[in-house]
Amino acid sequence: MDDCIFCKIAAGKVPCNKVYEDKYTIAFLDINPAAKGHTLVIPKEHYETMTDIAPAVMQSLSLSLQKVAKKVHDGLLADGYNVYINNKPAAGQVVMHAHFHIVPRKHDDGIRIQWPQKRYGPGEMEDIKSKVSGAVTGNDRG
Residues at the site binding Zn ion, with contacts judged by CB under 5 A:
1, 4, 6-7, 46, 97
CA 19 – CA 33 distance, rounded (Å) = 15
- CB of residue 126 to ligand AMP, shortest distance in Å: 33
Binding partner at 32 among ligand AMP, Zn ion, none, C-beta below 5 to 8 Å by kind: ligand AMP
Nearest 5°: phi and psi at 97?
A: -125, 115
Give me Rg for the CA atoms of the chain.
Answer: 17
Q: Which is nearer to ligand AMP, 33 or 106 (CB)?
A: 33
Binding partner at 57 among ligand AMP, Zn ion, none, C-beta below 5 to 8 Å by kind: none
Q: Which residues contact 101 (CB under 8 A, 6 or more apart)?
A: 30, 34, 38, 39, 40, 82, 83, 84, 85, 86
CA 19 – CA 26 distance, rounded (Å) = 8
Q: Which is nearer to ligand AMP, 29 or 131 (CB)?
A: 29
- CB of residue 82 to Zn ion, shortest distance in Å: 23
Binding partner at 72 among ligand AMP, Zn ion, none, C-beta below 5 to 8 Å by kind: none
38 assigned to active site: no
Which residues of the chain form contacts with ligand AMP (CB under 6 A)?
Answer: 5, 16, 30-32, 40, 86, 92-95
The neighbour count for residue 40, using CB atoms within 10 Å, is: 23
Query: What are the catalytic residues?
Result: 99
